[in-house]
Amino acid sequence: MPPELAALIDNDEAAAQKLLDYLIEKHGGIGLLTRVLSRRPNQFVPHTLYNFQAYEAPAHIDPKTAELAAVAASAALMCDHCLVAHMRAAQSKGASLDEIMDALLVAGAIAESSVLAVGFRKFLQVEGKREGGEGADL
């Protein structure tokens, strides 16, 4: 990266502190990821700004829908802390508990399908190797 671009974020303690102050004020605190990553302003600042854009100002969906997607992804990835944070954020952006439940049910259905797809591929692979039939090359 050219030095003049790197200088915009590299070791910018003031920018990192402003972002931390904003997050603490907005959310009443910060989580583990934010707290630890903030030790590296050159990583923390762009990471936080990128996430802000994704959650707060997505280009083609509203912020509530973005948070509901984050709820579903957090559930599917089994990230307890992320899940709580994104459920709260979704509520703060107008999501009802019923909408959050729907996002969780969608995530669960996709996760179940993923488990079955992986399992069935391996099943067919084992079945094919034993019998020389369909699925032997999967």
Query: pLDDT tens digit string along 88-108?
Result: 999 999 999 999 999 999 999
Cα gap 68→57, rounded to integer Å:
14
Residue with structure tokens 């915009």? 8
The pTM assigned to this predicted structure is 0.73
Residues of the chain with CATH 1.20.1290.10: 62-138
Model confidence at 135: pLDDT above 50: no
Domain 62-138 bears CATH identifier 3.40.47.10 = no
More confident residue, 90 or 25: 90
DSSP annotation of 128 reads H
Model confidence at 129: pLDDT above 90: no
Average pLDDT over residues 33-48: 91
The CA–CA distances, whole Å, from 97 to 32, 61, 80 equal 25, 20, 17
Average pLDDT over residues 24-30: 84
